[in-house]
Structure formats: C-alpha cells, structure tokens
Structure 1
Amino acid sequence: MGNVFAFARDSLTSLVSRMGTDRDKAATTFYASTVLSDEQLIAAYSTAWLPRKIVDIPALDACRKWRDWQAKKPQIEAIEEEEKRLNVKGKILEAAKKGRLFGGAAVYIGTGDANPAEPLDVERIKKGGVRYLNVITRRRLNAGEIDRNPESEWFGKPMNYTLAGNNGQQITIHPSRLVLFSGAMPADDEISTNVWQGWGDSVLQSTLDAIKNADSTAGNIASLVFEAKIDIIRIPNFMASLGQAEYRNKLLERYALANTAKGINGTLLLDKEEEYETKTAQLTGLPDVLMTFLQIVAGAADIPVTRLLGQSPAGLNSTGTADMKNYHDRIQSMQELEFQPAMVRLDECLERSADVRDPDVHYRWAPLEQMSEKERADIFKITADAARQLVGTTAGQEIVPREAVSDALVNRLVEDGVLPGLDAAIEEYGKLSEQEPSEEELAAATAAQEAKTANVAQMSAETNDAAPRTLYVRRDVLNASEVIKWAEGQGFTDIVPDLHVTITYSRTPVDWMKMGDNWSDNGKGGLTIPAGGPRLMEAFGDNGEAKVLSFASSALSWRHEDMKRNGASSDREDYQPHVTISYAAGGPDLSSVEPYRGKIELGPEIFEELRED
C-alpha cells in the first residue's frame, strides 16, 4: 500500500460563526462593475437632491468667478464683449454639468464652415467669425475610431465624432471643432465596461452606492419618526374571539370611538380588564449616524460637507476654512488641468473673433475665495508699496520707468475693482504716460523744482549734517483761488490765506534726510487730487474751531505713514488729508455746506521746523 500524504491548512475556521469561510463578514470586499444606464442617471439627477448637487456644484464653482483677461483695456473689453455675445460662460457651464452627469458632452464651435468634418483652421477666423456655440451630449454625439498613431495630436482619442441629425442624417465632426468634457476618466479604454467608447464615466458611477446608503438611512429614520410612539392594548380572549365576524366589527368600532374620545379630551376609555401601554422608540444618536453617511457621500464626491449641505461647520472652534481652501485648490486644479486645455482652440477663436491678435494676451482664473474689506485694503496697500519700491532710484536712475509702473498699477487696480470709477477717471484725465505738459506747466515745474532744490539746500545747511529736528511738511494749494471762491459762495469768512495740506507734524526730532523722496509727484513737482471722490466738511480741534475740507488721497496717506515709519511722530492717531478753510467762530452749518468737488492742485513738499505759532 502506497504512502498517503495528508495536507492540512493552518488557519482558524469556525463552523458556528463562519469565520474564515467565504461568508465571513470581515472578508475582503469584491468589486463589480455596474454601468448606470442613461435612464438611471436622468432619474437620479432629476428626482434626488444629492446626485444633482454632486454633479452641479464643482461645475458651478469652476465657472462662478470665471477668468480675468490680461491685456490692454480695449482688448479686454473686446474679448469680454465677445464672450457675452456667445454666452461662453453659460455654454461651458452647461457642457461641464452634462459631461459630469453623462460622462461626456461637448461645445460645438460654429463658424459656418461647409464641411465640419475638416479640421478647424483658426487662422481663417476673422472678426465675428465665431457665430454660435452649441452644447451636445454624448447621447447624440457618437465617438468614432480611436486614433492609435503615436505621432498624431489626437492619439488615444476619437479621430472624429458623428452627430445624429434630422431625418436620420449623420453629420461627421472633426474633434478640433469641439470643446470636450469627458466626465470621470475611465480606468482603461480596452477593458472598460463603458459602452460609450471615447467618452468617460459619469461622476455618479463611483458615488451612487454612498448616495443610496445615505438616502436609505434618511428614509428609514423618517419612517421611524412616524412609528416613534406605539399604543399597545391587551384585550381578554382576543385571539379566541377574533374568528367571529361580528366580534371583529364591534372591536374596530369600539376602538375607533375610543380614539375619537382620546383625540377630543385626551382620555382613553377602556374596559376594566383591558390593559393599555405605550412604547416610544429612542431616536438618540440617529442624527449622528445620518451625518456619518452624508460625510461618506461628501468624501466620495470630493466636496466639503459645508458646501454640499450648505451648513456651517459644527464643533468647537470649527470654521471649515481648511476644508474650503482644499476644495478651492481642487477646483483651481480642475480649471487649469481640465477646462483650460479643453478650451485652447475656443479661446484662440474667441480672440480672433474679437479682432484681438496679440500673442501676449492671456488670462488667469479668478480666485474663488471672497476677501473681506480689510483684506482688500491690505492687498491694495501692499500693491501700492511694491509699485513705490519699483519707482525708487538706484545711482540716480529709476529701476522701472514711472510711466510703466503707473500703467501697470492702473490695470491692476481696475481688475481688482478696489477703486470704483478709476477707469472712467483715467479716460477723462489720461494716463501719466499720456500727459504732455504745456509750456506754462513746464515753466511752473522748473520753478517748483528750483524752489525744491533751494529748499533742500537750505534744509541741508540748517540741519547741520542732518541733525535731528522737529519736522513740519506741507503742500500748498496752487489753485487756491478756485477753492476760496467756492468757500465764499458757501458763506465762509476769514478764509485761511495760505491754503495747504499738512503731511507731517512731528514734535519728535527726526533726521530729515531719512524721510526719503516722494514718488507720487505728477512729474512737475506737484500732486493733483482729481475731481470727485469722497469729500466732507468737518470740524477739527478741541472745540471744533477749524473748519476743514477732508478728501481721500492714498498718495498723501502713504507718504504720511512712510514718514512715521522713518521716525516721525503724529499728534493724530489717524491721518486724514484735509485743507483748513477757516478758523472763524460761527459761520455756516457744516451739514448744509456742499463740499468743494473740483480738482486740487498741490505744490511740492515743503520741509520746515515746527513753529509754535
């Protein structure tokens, strides 16, 4: 008899708990591919709020702030007008939503070409050449054969698409005429169970199980709420008498009357031998269970719970800022890695259709975060300080030409919208680079520069090698006659003869040479405060004896703060540019005075020591 070898597997198996068998609850999960039909996708999107949000929210957020074109102002206006005419933003949003839902959608670039099967020649597009944009889902747009040529631009993608037209007519479209949105990327085209070759998967494909679990949990909790309170009545000989029809009828009639009486006065009438009991279901902890399932849905959809559910974050010191920042980073990645490459040809066509042919024209996606007023003001100040540093000089030469920095700063401020009406004011008064001074202005500038030079020389001599001294810096109002005429018309008397704007009033001795040079001059040694803007009549001083015209000027405010950073002191906590009109007692009621709204021409900075008078 031959040798018999017995092989034993060293594992723990229980016939009772079925641990270690195929029915072990801890066994590895088995994944099976289930493709959702179009009818299922439409039903989920149309009838359930979670699938609709998962499809819509990322697409909506990607298009919500849209993009900022970086070009000259006329070019920006032309491109944005063309975007508005073609409803580019709306079409891209629609295609992105339908692409996420069905796994594929496209925007057809309509140029009126006779044969859409030919590649789109961008060079031939003239002004107004893009006639329309149409959104087509993959349900009507069938992808053709996949291009397997590694030298082709369309490698791995369909070589053409076929559109089912009217009367069964088939229209072949070249992919260069389409802005394609393919939903979720399929794992592999060769083994994919997706019957829609050339397209992606629906974003609901991988999230639907989590959605169903959350919906089922919510439905079961809702059913439990309706059964949270159950009345139990024990009746003698109930089962023995239940077979009699007359007994059943009387039983139903009897408890119908009992419930009616209870509903009216809260009293339940029962026989002495009957027993009544109420059982209440415990709902404690169910909200946490439901929230856990919703968090799983949020994780599956890669959307923060605060955004998906539209609720504030819960918990001590919870703000949700980190979650939203990560989400915004994800949306920005989607814009730059999915939207932007898909829209390359559309953008080229759009620029040519707007008659803009400049290779330097580009755009950036606008940030999704909403800045507070303080954050906007801080960015405004940082930008202006950076511009000031660029205009600084090295060995007597400007680092960057003043005019170039001025134009760039104006474009930035207009794009950021921090100074409403700035673009209109620039059109009215012109840019710094466009301003050509007249002979009178040149003569005035020369005289101002000579006065400034003499003042600097005197200052240098008086300061005894820049010894620290008290400092008073002002700018005289050059068009004082216009301001005085306005003041007299408003009823002011004893008007200050030497109208001026104080920049610094430092009782603390400082080194004047450390105050630096001013960069905001208008090129003629002075400073112009444009007409309009915020103007107020206010009373300054302990007793309100000074009647002043207050106005906004970032240049003066920045200069004041710069001097403070260099050691100067200030008697006022907050600096407010103003022109003192009168110190006379009485006078007109300031609330009834119409402030002077014309432009204010200021001369060069004048440095002096403080005079107590």
Structure 2
Amino acid sequence: MSRRNKRRVNRAADEKPNTMQASQVMDAFSNPLFRLGYGSQSPMEATEYPLTRLSDNYALLNSLYRDNWVVQNVVGIIPDDMTKNWFTLTGAISPEHLAEFDRVQRMTQIQDRVNAGLRWGRLYGGAAGLILIRGHETLMDQPLDLETIMPGTFAGLYILDRWCGIVPDVELVTDIGDPEFGLPAYYSITMENGDTLTRVHHSRIIRFLGRELPYLEKIAAMYWGESEVEAIYKDIVKHDNVSANMAALTFRANVDRMEVANLDQLFSITSGQQQQRFWSVMQAQSAVKNNFGIQLVNKGDTMTNTQFAQFSGLSDVYDSMCLDLAGASRIPVTKLFGRSPAGMNATGESDLQNYYDYVDTLREKSLRPILYKLLPIMTMSAWGMIPEGLDIAFPPLWTPTAKEVAEIAKAKAETITMAYQDELLDQGSAQKELKKLADETGMFDSITDEQIKANAGRTYQDATALRDPLAGISFSQPPADESEGVTDE
C-alpha cells in the first residue's frame, strides 16, 4: 500500500462519525452542589483521553527502546519466556527423524527468529517473518504449495517490522476456511527508497502482532496491532520522573549557609580585584570541603547547615510507580525490575505462577498458530513428508523442586495403584499409566512395552491369587456316592 493510500485509510477511520458521542447522555449521575458526577466542575470530569496513536511514532518508540531499560524488559521478557522451552514434537517419530528435525531448526535458527519477530511485534505493534525457501525466489506472489518444498530447502525467516520493508496490500483474504480470513492477502516487500522489491502471498508470511485493536483502529493501523509501549507510556513517564527527582534530591539534601560581615558592601563598592579574591577563597573552600574535611571561616562569621529534603516516604512512592508499571505490562515486579520479593514470608512464587499461566495463554494464542504454519514447512524440508498425527506440545514453564516432583510422583502412583486394586484397570494398563509419568517425574521409565503387553488383561485378583499357596484347593465334602463305597478294613 502506498503512503497516499495509507493516509487515506487513516483519514477515513478518523472521520467516521461517532454516533455514541453525537447522542446526548441522559442517564448519568450528577451532583453540581458537591461537584460530583457528569457535568460538574471537578478534576475527575475534566479528565480527557485524546486519541494519540503512539504506535505511529516510530522515532519515539526507537528512542524509548534504546534509552530505557524498563521498555527493553517489557518488550523482551515475555518473548524470551514464550520461546525459552520452545516445543516438543508428539506422535510416532523415530529418533533419527527427531535428530534431523532438530538439525533443521539449528541451521535456520528458527527459535531466535521467532523470538525476534515476537519482540519487534510487541515494540512496534506489528512485524512479519518472510518464509525463505530455496528455489522459490520467483514464486513469492503465488500460494505456498507444500509439495514443492524439497528436502533441505527451508532457509528460515527474514524478520521485518511494520515500518521497515513490508506493507500490507488492500486486497483481503476472502476464503472463510483460511486462518487469515479478513487479513491482507498480499504484502509488498519494499526497499529503503520505497520502491517495491517483490509482492508476496500471505501464505509465505508469518505475522507477529502487539496488542489487538478494535476493527476500525485495526484498519487505521493497516491490520497491525498496538505497541505494548503505547499502553504503558504514561506509567513509564511517571516512573522515570519519580526516579530522576529522587536522584536530584540527593544533591539538594543539605544546604550550607555562611554569614559574612559586610557582604553587601563587598559586592557594591569594592573593586573587582577584591571581589575576585573573595570568589577565589570560596572556590578553594568548596574544593577542599568533603564529609571528613574542615570548613574554615573568619572569626565572627557564622556557618550553618540546613537539611533540605526528607527521604522517608520516597521509597513508597517509587514502589507505587513500579507496581503500576508491573500491572500495565502484566509482568511481576520481581521479574520486571529484578527485585527480591518484599514482605514477611514473601517468596514471589504465586506471582510467578500467575505470570507463567499468562505466558501459557500467549503460547497457545499467539505462538501455536505460528508454529502450526511453520511445522509442515520444516518437516517437508527435514523429512520430505508430513507424518499423520504430528503435533506439538509446550513444556511447562514452571520447574518444580525435587521435593515437589517426589510428592507428585507419589500421589499419582498411589492413584493408579488404587484404581488397579479396585480392578478399574488391568495390570498392563496400570503399567502404561505409570510409564506416562516418566516425562514429568523421571520415574517408571524402565517399564518396557513388552512387559505392558504381557500383563494386559491381568487383574489385581489374578495377581494376588498366585501369591496364595492354597489357591485352587477346595475344602468341600466329597459326594455321597463316593463316601458310601468306602469301607473300613
């Protein structure tokens, strides 16, 4: 899309009439006597929220990211946690195929490329990854056909942010069966001077977004999202100003005051040489003065020290700014600022657990669709085929301690044993359930498939019957006809 068309889309979204604003509000609370509610002259009613669209300010976003470490953490921490444990393949895959798939990932650095796309999508509100396949240089404007991907041809992703190198087209995807229905059907890869280098079909593009926008704002943003920095910008300003003022107060914590006799005459009627000598004396005293030095004054002159600032409540104010930033960015204070948990008996585990639950939501919502689009491409490049039943699973972010792992293993093993003893499971099924715990607990992985198959169908009663030495022996009386035929000799 040209810059002229982009301005036309933005202008159309800005000029669209707002029927909610045009209608008169008739059901609002108002108390003019106490200056409360709608229409009253109060600070609350004077508050306005103008539409600024900070995500469009490319220079400001770059400056904030380069200069502000809090912005860097907000942009980078969540993508790092989303991709640090990556994913595992599920299904009937041989170790040789897994090794070849891992080699493709290492050669293309796909984990780092996806991390970079997520990072720039959060900073700028949108980024894209161009899928690179050797031999497809002349097919970029055509839908990606998986059958045309030869082994070893996948070359990774080329990451572009929404302001540098990629522009969505006005044509949208109309196929309701396409996962990208309603999004741009083509993208133009542009050069630095704005000239179009190539036109790319959407099936060859991986989209990375920031925060989602409502429909009209999405159109104004050319179907990208909102920068994470825009949502927390005011809290960043408050945090930086508070911390800067606290640092400045340390220079003004104490003010020295010295009484000098006839100071007004010194500056009014004395010669310039005398004034210069006075300034030289003051500068010499300032140079040698320190916390352990001595201030020399003439006899009769008075020297006083006045404490200018109090610091007792500043830490609480600063902590409030940090809490606001943590809430706006949805990252715990302990992780965003690298601080230890505060308060008695505080461990920070509950905050981290809630945070990891949020990251798990992002992995399912944002990362899984990206991997589903890349997975068949990587398997075709690694194996030359797409196996049936192939899927991915995300390893847990929370790593339990050895004690927690032992407790989990004990609780789950006892549950399986109880189900087996109640004959809800046979011995083979119970062993199979125990073997499933190997990935989670590191136990029961020595149970072989042959053992499970051999014990299939054997119940708890069958197993305990073999331990009873009298099992199978009957103590009932012999039949009457047999007893009658026996005589005493």
- Equivalent of 2:80 in 44, 53, 60: 60
Is it true that 1:111 corresponds to 2:133 in the alignment?
Answer: yes
Give 1:289's aligned amino acid: V
| Residue aligned with 1:376, SS | helix
Is it true that 1:186 corresponds to 2:213 in the alignment?
Answer: yes
Decide whether the 8 Å contact of 1:70 with 1:76 is kept in 2: no
Report the structure number with the largest CA radius of gyration: 1
- Measured after TM superposition, the shift of residue 20 of structure 1 is 5.0
Distance in 2, matches of 1:99 and 1:172, equals 21
Alpha-carbon spacing, 1:225–1:461, altered in 2? closer, same or farther (3 Å): farther
Distance in 1, matches of 2:100 and 2:436, equals 16
Matched residue, 1:200: 225
Please give the residue correspondences for 1:176-575 in structure 2 after superposition, counting only pairs within 5 Å: 176-189=203-216, 194=221, 197-243=222-268, 244=270, 245-259=272-286, 262-263=289-290, 266-280=293-307, 281-355=309-383, 357-385=386-414, 399=425, 402=428, 410=435, 413=438, 415-416=439-440, 418=442, 431-432=449-450, 456-458=468-470
| Residue aligned with 1:179, SS | strand
Decide whether the 8 Å contact of 1:406 with 1:432 is kept in 2: no
Decide whether the 8 Å contact of 1:70 with 1:363 is kept in 2: yes
Distance in 1, matches of 2:467 and 2:348, equals 58
Matched residue, 2:22: none
| Residue aligned with 1:204, SS | helix
Decide whether the 8 Å contact of 1:161 with 1:172 is kept in 2: yes
Is it true that 1:69 corresponds to 2:98 in the alignment?
Answer: no
Alpha-carbon spacing, 1:406–1:290, altered in 2? closer, same or farther (3 Å): same
Is it true that 1:135 corresponds to 2:135 in the alignment?
Answer: no
Decide whether the 8 Å contact of 2:110 with 2:156 is kept in 1: no
Distance in 2, matches of 1:73 and 1:405, equals 24
- Measured after TM superposition, the shift of residue 183 of structure 1 is 1.2
Alpha-carbon spacing, 1:28–1:351, altered in 2? closer, same or farther (3 Å): farther
Measured against aligned partners, the alpha-carbon deviations of 1:239-271 in whole angstroms (never above 9, x if no partner) come to 343244334312212223434565597332222
Measured against aligned partners, the alpha-carbon deviations of 1:402-437 in whole angstroms (never above 9, x if no partner) come to 3x7756755652x447269x6xx89xxx7426999x
Measured against aligned partners, the alpha-carbon deviations of 1:118-143 in whole angstroms (never above 9, x if no partner) come to 11123443543423322222221111
Decide whether the 8 Å contact of 1:60 with 1:93 is kept in 2: yes
Matched residue, 1:27: 45
Distance in 1, matches of 2:43 and 2:227, equals 30
Aligned residues: 425
Alpha-carbon spacing, 1:458–1:12, altered in 2? closer, same or farther (3 Å): closer
Decide whether the 8 Å contact of 2:173 with 2:184 is kept in 1: no
| Residue aligned with 2:216, SS | coil
Give 2:251's aligned amino acid: F
- Equivalent of 1:41 in 61, 68, 81: 61
Matched residue, 1:494: none
Q: TM-score, normalised by structure 2?
A: 0.76
Distance in 2, matches of 1:213 and 1:264, equals 33
What RMSD, in angstroms, separates the aligned Cα atoms of the two structures? 3.7
Alpha-carbon spacing, 1:207–1:193, altered in 2? closer, same or farther (3 Å): farther
Decide whether the 8 Å contact of 1:229 with 1:279 is kept in 2: yes
Is it true that 1:171 corresponds to 2:198 in the alignment?
Answer: yes
Give 1:128's aligned amino acid: G
Which of the two has greater helix per residue?
A: 2
- Measured after TM superposition, the shift of residue 111 of structure 1 is 2.2
